[in-house]
């Protein structure tokens, strides 16, 4: 009897334990889940900037370079990717291509409801042909691609010799500096595509990293770890949401376990429990600006409007500074609530290399606006449907506040079609994914077509009589950029517009540091003179992670992508 009682008790304990485990086991186990705006599926192109920050971050999830820029607790380093540095002899750099690295299309994904099983099919190994294809593509993209600038500064010809029997290839680097290993790895850190790729695909999904993309499930964009990849966590999910207003709630409710960007970039009051979440910051990559419609506002009006839009007051209102609802922030250096550091006075954000290194001086027009020059009402429009809904909403409210804009501004939320038609005096836009390093992208501000749904840069180049590639003035075309810049239409500013376009192109296309710096100064000066926009502020970059993850396994540092170390992320032991 006693024995029966004991056996019954042990059985009851085991059943209870199993039931407890089943009920408490999270759905996000072995999964990294972070949100995205459902109607903004990231179009992934490892060589071109994207309109959505998420797309650029996914470059690191899917693609390897010969070397990969990755964050460490001490800073960024370049790890071996598909290549291994062998040595440099004079100007000849020798790289050994890794063998046994396979493209994601080597695996077949078998779907069973929401489960996915990966099985090897015909193995598609990375070879030198893939590298050659990639270099050819980067060459063809020209100044549109930051990689073109990085590679072009080192390789006079984007070609290599080899591979030899040891699978080694040789690049001839330029003779203008002593190339050291870290420089070489940085230059060769561009992401590599397979040579069977389309040269101009809208999105690329076949890489060599541990995570391969598998078919979506209920709009969840999914990446599964391959068996040979060495990733700690098996799945990465991008979970769709209508906008970012509920992101923190979703994290709290454990529907996601990573939030890469918080609303307002601020620390979230509802995620304060340090037992459940931890936060990490890195350098800003999004800023807000009001771009002026040069067809609607003349230069004098634009200057006065710029004076009217006092970004310091706007930031204070935006972060509710001094109120009980103040939105606290932290930067990647650990500084709290340093809002003034977020203020941008010129087109180059304060966090960018050009301002930080004082290549370009911040110019702040402290004069009072002459409202008489402005139209009765300046109509500023914004579209809330492509991210940053929360931020846009607050900013529209702030801009409509008479205390801020003295009743001269009427800001409204509109559909993307209104933006596309250029029906605004000025447009409020969030420029996301900007790089604070040398490779700050001016095309995404000034040459992007006014369409928030589709990212398209209207750059047109032509060959001059010297055989040099120069920018074509047709790159500025009415209704083809947020500012409606068109030298053919705006005769009064034609020369300045063309000069600005030239300086911008020279900035974007040069691989010389000195030229980059000088044209940065000129672009800033040109823009300041022409008063093309009001450069409000940058959004802090704060990420929240569930304590499901071991915080020490996640490194975010400086300009390294937030997901550069994804394969090293680990779940907490407890």
Partner 1 sequence: MRIHRVIPVVFILLSGCATFQELVPVPPLQPQERGYIELKNDEEDFILQQDKKYFIKFPGPLDENVYLVLQTNAKRSVHNYFTSSFNEGQEPISKVTDEAADQNDLCLFPVNTTIPVYYWVIDKVDQETQLSIRYRYVQKWRFTVENKYDTYRRLLDENSADRREYNQMGPQYDFASLDAAIEQQKVEVKHKLLSDMQDELTAVEKLFPKNISASSDTMYKKYNELCGDTKEELKFQTDYIHLLNVIQQERSTKYNFKAFMGHYKDYEKFLKNKSSYRTPIVEHYKNVFLDRLDEAFPLFDNQLKKKDDISVIDLDPSIDNVEKLFTACGKQMPANLKGIRSYVDEFNIPAKWIRDGEAIYESAGPASHQKSPWPDNTYYPELIMKLEKARSGSPEYNLDKFDRYRNPVINQLFSDGIQNMKQKVSQRQNQFQRAADAVRQVNELKPGGDYKRMIQVLRANRDLTFLADQYPDLDGLMMKSISDRIRERLNAGDWVGSEEGLYALLDEQNFLNASKISAAKLKTAQSLESELFERIKKLSYERVDNFAKMHESTINNVEGLYADSSFLPVYTLIFSSESPERAAQKRRTIENYLNEVKTIRFPEKSIKNIYSDLTKAPRDHGVDKAHAVLAHAKYYNGQDKSVRNIIDECDPRIAKPLVKAKEYRRILVVPVNDKPKATNEYMLRINVKIPSDAKFPVYDINIKVPPAIAEKAGSRQWFTQMLLNKKVIKTEGHMRITAPSADNNYEAQITPVDIPKDGENIIEVQFNYPAFQLFEVSVMAQVPIIRKN
Toward partner 1, which CB reaches closer, 146 or 265? 146
Toward partner 1, which CB reaches closer, 504 or 559? 559
Stretch that binds partner 1, among 127-135, 150-158, 161-169, 492-500 (CB under 8 A): 150-158
Task: Write out the two tokens for 42.
Answer: 């990231």
Give the separation between CA 187 and CA 158, rounded to whole angstroms: 12
Toward partner 1, which CB reaches closer, 2 or 358? 358
Q: Is the peptide bond before 163 cis (omega within 30 degrees of 0)?
A: yes
Stretch that binds partner 1, among 44-52, 184-192, 365-373, 565-573 (CB under 8 A): 184-192
State the SS3 of 383-451. Answer: CCCCCCHHHHHHHHHHHHCHHHHCCCEEEEECCHHHHHHCCCCEEEEEEECCCCCCCCCCHHHHCECCC
Phi and psi at 85, nearest 5°, equal -70, 125
Site pattern 346..385 for partner 1 (x: CB under 8 A): -----------xxx--------------------------
Toward partner 1, which CB reaches closer, 118 or 498? 498
**Is 79 buried (19+), middle (13-18) or exposed (0-12) by CB count in 10 A?**
middle
Stretch that binds partner 1, among 35-43, 171-179, 254-262, 375-383 (CB under 8 A): 171-179
Task: Write out the two tokens for 448.
Answer: 């992007």
Toward partner 1, which CB reaches closer, 229 or 558? 558
Give the separation between CA 287 and CA 211, rounded to whole angstroms: 30
What are the C-alpha distances in Å from 117 to residues 13, 65, 207, 217, 218?
Answer: 34, 27, 18, 14, 17
The structure tokens 């040579």 sit at 195
User: Which of 170, 295, 416, 437 contacts partner 1 by CB under 8 A?
Assistant: 437
The structure tokens 């100044």 sit at 143
Q: How many residues bind partner 1 (CB under 8 A)?
A: 36
Residue 181, interface with partner 1 (CB under 8 A)?
Answer: no
Toward partner 1, which CB reaches closer, 183 or 451? 183
Give the separation between CA 292 and CA 486, rounded to whole angstroms: 13
User: Which of 94, 106, 189, 475 contacts partner 1 by CB under 8 A?
Assistant: 189
Residue 248, interface with partner 1 (CB under 8 A)?
Answer: no
Residue 254, interface with partner 1 (CB under 8 A)?
Answer: no
DSSP conformation letters of 81-125: SSEEEEEEETTEEEEEEPSS-B-GGGEEEEEETTEEEEEE-S--B
Site for partner 1 in 499-528 (CB under 8 A): 506, 510-518
Toward partner 1, which CB reaches closer, 420 or 435? 435
How many helices (DSSP H) and strands (DSSP E) are in the chain?
15, 19
Site pattern 438..467 for partner 1 (x: CB under 8 A): xx----------------------------
- State in angstroms the smallest separation of the CB of 152 from partner 1: 9
Residue 57, interface with partner 1 (CB under 8 A)?
Answer: no
Give the separation between CA 467 and CA 409, rounded to whole angstroms: 48
The enclosing H or E element of 9 equals helix 2-24
User: Which of 560, 565, 567, 571 contacts partner 1 by CB under 8 A?
Assistant: 560
Toward partner 1, which CB reaches closer, 218 or 468? 468
Toward partner 1, which CB reaches closer, 348 or 388? 348
219: closest CA among 452, 39, 28? 39
- State in angstroms the smallest separation of the CB of 174 from partner 1: 8
Residue 559, interface with partner 1 (CB under 8 A)?
Answer: yes
Stretch that binds partner 1, among 206-214, 332-340, 401-409, 435-443 (CB under 8 A): 435-443
Toward partner 1, which CB reaches closer, 184 or 305? 184
Q: Which residues bind partner 1 (CB under 8 A)?
A: 69, 75-76, 149-150, 153-154, 174-178, 183, 186-187, 189, 357-359, 435, 437-439, 506, 510-518, 558-560
């Amino acid at each position: 009897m006693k024995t029966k009682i004991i056996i019954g008790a042990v059985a009851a304990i085991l059943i209870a334990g199993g039931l407890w485990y089943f009920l408490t086991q999270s759905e996000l186990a072995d999964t990294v889940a972070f949100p995205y705006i459902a109607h903004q599926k990231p179009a992934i192109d490892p060589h071109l900037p994207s309109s959505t920050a998420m797309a650029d971050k996914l470059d690191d999830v899917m693609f390897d370079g010969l070397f990969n820029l990755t964050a460490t607790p001490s800073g960024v380093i370049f790890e071996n990717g598909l290549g291994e540095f062998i040595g440099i002899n004079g100007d000849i750099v020798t790289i050994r291509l890794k063998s046994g690295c396979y493209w994601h299309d080597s695996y077949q994904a078998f779907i069973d409801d929401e489960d996915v099983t990966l099985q090897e099919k015909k193995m598609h190994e990375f070879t030198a042909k893939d590298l050659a294809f990639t270099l050819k593509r980067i060459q063809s993209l020209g100044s549109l691609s930051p990689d073109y600038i990085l590679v072009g500064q080192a390789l006079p010809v984007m070609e290599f010799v080899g591979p030899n029997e040891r699978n080694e290839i040789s690049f001839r680097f330029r003779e203008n500096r002593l190339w050291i290993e870290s420089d070489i790895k940085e230059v060769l850190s561009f992401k590599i595509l397979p040579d069977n790729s389309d040269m101009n695909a809208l999105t690329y999904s076949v890489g060599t990293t541990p995570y391969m993309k598998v078919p979506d499930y209920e709009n969840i964009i999914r990446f599964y770890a391959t068996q040979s990849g060495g990733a700690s966590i098996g799945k990465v999910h991008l979970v769709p949401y209508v906008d970012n207003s509920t992101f923190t709630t979703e994290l709290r409710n454990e529907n996601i376990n990573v939030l890469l960007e918080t609303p307002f970039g601020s620390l979230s009051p509802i995620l304060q429990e340090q037992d459940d979440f931890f936060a990490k910051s890195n350098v800003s990559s999004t800023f807000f600006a009001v771009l002026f419609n040069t067809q609607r506002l003349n230069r004098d009006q634009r200057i006065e409007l710029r004076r009217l839009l006092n970004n310091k007051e706007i930031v204070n209102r935006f972060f509710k500074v001094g109120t009980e609802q103040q939105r606290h922030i932290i930067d990647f250096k650990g500084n709290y609530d340093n809002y003034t550091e977020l203020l941008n006075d010129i087109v180059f954000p304060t966090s960018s290399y050009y301002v930080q290194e004082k290549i370009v001086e911040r110019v702040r027009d402290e004069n009072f606006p002459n409202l008489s020059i402005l139209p009765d009402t300046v109509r500023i429009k914004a579209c809330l449907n492509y991210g940053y809904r929360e931020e846009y909403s607050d900013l529209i409210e702030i801009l409509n506040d008479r205390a801020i804009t003295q009743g001269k501004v009427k800001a409204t939320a509109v559909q993307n079609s209104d933006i596309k038609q250029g029906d605004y005096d000025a447009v409020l836009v969030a420029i996301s994914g900007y790089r604070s390093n040398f490779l700050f992208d001016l095309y995404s501000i000034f040459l992007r077509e006014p369409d928030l749904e589709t990212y398209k840069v209207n750059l047109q180049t032509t060959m001059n009589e010297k055989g040099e590639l120069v920018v074509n003035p047709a790159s500025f075309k009415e209704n083809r950029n947020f500012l409606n810049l068109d030298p053919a239409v705006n005769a009064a500013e034609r020369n300045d517009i063309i000069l600005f376009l030239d300086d911008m192109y020279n900035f974007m296309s040069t691989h010389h540091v000195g030229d980059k710096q000088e044209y940065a100064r000129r672009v800033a000066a040109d823009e300041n003179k022409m008063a093309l926009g009001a450069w409000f502020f940058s959004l802090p970059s704060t990420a929240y992670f569930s304590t499901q993850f071991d915080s020490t396994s996640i490194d975010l540092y400086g300009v390294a992508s937030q997901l550069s170390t994804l394969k090293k992320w680990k779940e907490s032991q407890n």
